[in-house]
Amino acid sequence: MFHATTILAYKTDKKAVIGGDGQVSFGDTVLKGNATKIRTLYKNQILAGFAGSTADAFNLFDMFEAHLETSKGDLLKAVINFSKEWRKDKLLRRLEAMMIVLNKKHIFILTGTGDVVEPEDGKICSIGSGGNYAISAARALEKHTTLDPEELVRESLMIAGELCIYTNQNIKILKIED
């Protein structure tokens, strides 16, 4: 697990939301508190976020965007082709970053070893050092509240920011909705 950030994604049939904190850490030092680690891709139809090495993540974003273009925005096809490329390339396998990518239909974690993981429930996942805190909070909030998906992600990340020393409460959120 990377000690770099917390990214949480949540989707329903009508809305896809991703959020991330703004902290960039180097060892036990905070280098920056307002970084942006989430973005929209492919004509604002795909949401993505990263945890891990920033330089590695930017390379992964660029490569993944190329696969989205080739697949004309088909997220499932893009993650499969991206994973194949990642697994075959010796340099890529050394990258220290993970990504979450989602739209209203699919949600995936792309691991640092080139694996593609679809969450068991098909609607919520997290990465980064505070990921377990964020997903635990999100599952509890989903079960016991009627929060809008955007607020569920924000509140879950705020809780993670209270618990994880590598996560702050400078939360940024992106969404796709009908």
Instruction: List, by residue number, the catalytic residues.
Output: 5
For residue 35, how many C-alpha atoms fall within 13 Å in the half-sphere facing its CB? 24
Taking the CB of residue 26, how many other CB atoms lie within 10 A of it? 10
Instruction: Say how far apart CA 70 and CA 76 lie, in whole Å.
Output: 12
Instruction: Say how far apart CA 78 and CA 61 lie, in whole Å.
Output: 12
**38 pairs with which residues across the strands?**
49
Instruction: Say how far apart CA 70 and CA 122 lie, in whole Å.
Output: 25
Instruction: Say how far apart CA 16 and CA 147 lie, in whole Å.
Output: 14
Instruction: Say how far apart CA 166 and CA 176 lie, in whole Å.
Output: 27
Length of the chain: 178
